[in-house]
Structure 1
C-alpha cells in the first residue's frame, strides 16, 4: 500500500488570507485532501489561536506552533517543547534595554501548557499597534519589571528595521548558537520583528521531530511558506512551495513558486491540481 503524502503549510500570508479568513474553496480542498494525506501546519501562532482560525480544517498530524517551540497534536498531546530558561531570557532582555526597546514575551504559565503573553512597560508606536490586536486576549499581562518567565517560548521585539537590525546583530554576537534569532519584515503593519527562540525551537528542527514521530523521511514532505521562518523547512523538505507573495529570499530557495497569492487560495489551488 503506498504511503500517504505529507503536506505542511505555514498559516499567515500562506494558507490564510490577509484578513485571516479561509475561503470555502480552501476549506473543501484541504479537507478532501486530508482524507488520503497527512496534513498539518507550521506557524508562529499559538495552539489557542490556531484552533480558532482552523476550526473547519481537518488536521491529522502533530502541529508545529509558535515558530517550532511547541509540537502538539490537535488533541493536545505534547510531542516536544523547547523553551528559553529565565536566566538566558533575562540576559537577552538586558541587551535589548541597551537599545531602548522592551520585548513581548510568550511563555508557559502552567503544567497544562497554557500561555502568558507579557507586554512591555515601554511601547513604541509599532508595539502599540500590535497590542491593539490583543486587547481582548486573556493571556495578556503587563510586564512592568521587564523580566522573563521560567519557561519562555518566544521573545519578540516589534519595531522598525533601523532599530531592530543593530539589536539583532548584537544578540547574535553575544549569544551565538545558544539561541535562534530571526529578523523579518512584518507584512501586516509594515514594520519588522525580531524573534528569539531556543536554539532548536525553529520550524526546521520541529519538522524533523514530526517526521521522527510519523516514522517518515523529510524528503517525503511538501511544505508551503512565505517568510524567513519557513526557510529551514524549505531546505529540508522534499518539495518546497512558495506562494507568489512570498519574500524574495524564500522564492529563491523554493522548488516551486506558485502563480497565486494567499489571497487567491494558492495552497488550495496547488492541492487541487495535483489530484
Structure 2
C-alpha cells in the first residue's frame, strides 16, 4: 500500500513569490512512482495549474477549499456549490455594510471559471485585482449578482467588519454554510470565505480517498493556516511549516524548522528518504 502526501500550496509548498524551486520539484517528483501525491488549496484549477508547472500530481486535487475535486486532466470528481439564491443574499448582507465580495463560480464542465466582483472595491481588493490583470475570467459589475454554480464567496477587509458580516450571515443561514475567517498573509488584512457546508479540505480528502482508493492511515499532510486544520485531524501525520499559524502548529504532529521559503516540504520528504 502506497503512502499518501497532500500539501497545501500558499505559504506551505509555494514560496512567498508563488514559485516552486527546482529543488522542491526534484524531491517532490521523486515520490511520484511509489506514493500518492496531491495538493489541497484555496486556489482555483486555473491558478493551481499555472503555479504547478513541472510538479507531479497523480491523484485528484482538492481545490477552492474543497468546493472542487478534480484531476489534472480536468475530470471533475466532486463539487460543492453555494446556490445563486443563497449567494445573492450573502452579497446583499455585505452591501448593507458597504462591502462586496469576490465570487468564484463554475461556468462549464471544462472547468472554465468565473471570478466576478463589484466595481465598489476596498484597497485590499484593488491590490489583489492587480495580480489578475492578465486573466480573462475576471469581470466587474456595477450590480454584482451570483452565478448559478458558486464555489465560494470571499470578502477581504479588516477583522472587525468581517466578524460583523459573518455574524449577520450566520443569523440568516446558520450551519447551512461554512465560514472561514482567517488572516490574509499576503495583504495584511483578513478574509472571510463562505462555502457550502461540506466544502473543506477534510471532506475533500475523503472524496479523494474514495476516488483514488487510498488508506487514510497512510496519509501525511502539510499546511500552515486555519483552513488546514480539518485535514490535520484526518491524517496519520500532520506537518506544519515553521511559518504556520500558531493554532496550526498546536494541532500538528510535526513542526518543521524550515519555512515555505526554505523548501520545508521538500526537506522533510528528503529527510524521510535519508532515513
Q: TM-score, length-normalised on structure 2?
A: 0.97
Q: Which residue of 1 aligns with 2:12?
A: 14
Inter-partner Cα distance in structure 2 for 1:112 and 1:58? 21
Q: Which residue of 1 aligns with 2:147?
A: 149
Structure 1, gaps ≥5 residues long: none
1:68 equivalent to 2:66? Answer yes
Which of 97, 107, 115 is the aligned partner of 1:117?
Answer: 115
Inter-partner Cα distance in structure 2 for 1:149 and 1:37? 38
Moved more, 262-271 or 87-96: 87-96
Q: Deviations over 1:205-247 (max 9, x none)?
A: 1111111112233232100000111111011111110001000
Q: Which residue of 2 aligns with 1:133?
A: 131
Q: Alignment RMSD, CA only?
A: 1.0
Inter-partner Cα distance in structure 1 for 2:133 and 2:73? 28
Q: Which residue of 2 aligns with 1:187?
A: 185
1:261 equivalent to 2:256? Answer no
Alignment of 1:97-116 (within 5 A): 97-116=95-114
- 1:15 partner SS: coil
Inter-partner Cα distance in structure 2 for 1:216 and 1:110? 29
Q: Which residue of 1 aligns with 2:168?
A: 170
Which of 210, 213, 221 is the aligned partner of 2:211?
Answer: 213
1:78 equivalent to 2:73? Answer no
* Change in CA separation of 1:217 and 1:35 when aligned onto 2, cut-off 3 Å: closer
Contact 2:69 2:77 in 1 (8 A): yes
Which of 264, 268, 271 is the aligned partner of 2:269?
Answer: 271
Inter-partner Cα distance in structure 2 for 1:218 and 1:36? 16
User: How far is 1:80 from its partner?
Assistant: 0.4
Inter-partner Cα distance in structure 1 for 2:167 and 2:238? 28
Q: Which residue of 2 aligns with 1:37?
A: 35
Inter-partner Cα distance in structure 2 for 1:218 and 1:169? 35
- 1:195 partner SS: strand
Moved more, 250-259 or 210-219: 210-219
- 2:11 partner SS: helix
Which of 196, 199, 204 is the aligned partner of 1:198?
Answer: 196
Q: TM-score, length-normalised on structure 1?
A: 0.97
Structure 2, gaps ≥5 residues long: none
Contact 2:62 2:68 in 1 (8 A): yes
Q: Deviations over 1:5-25 (max 9, x none)?
A: 000000000000000111111
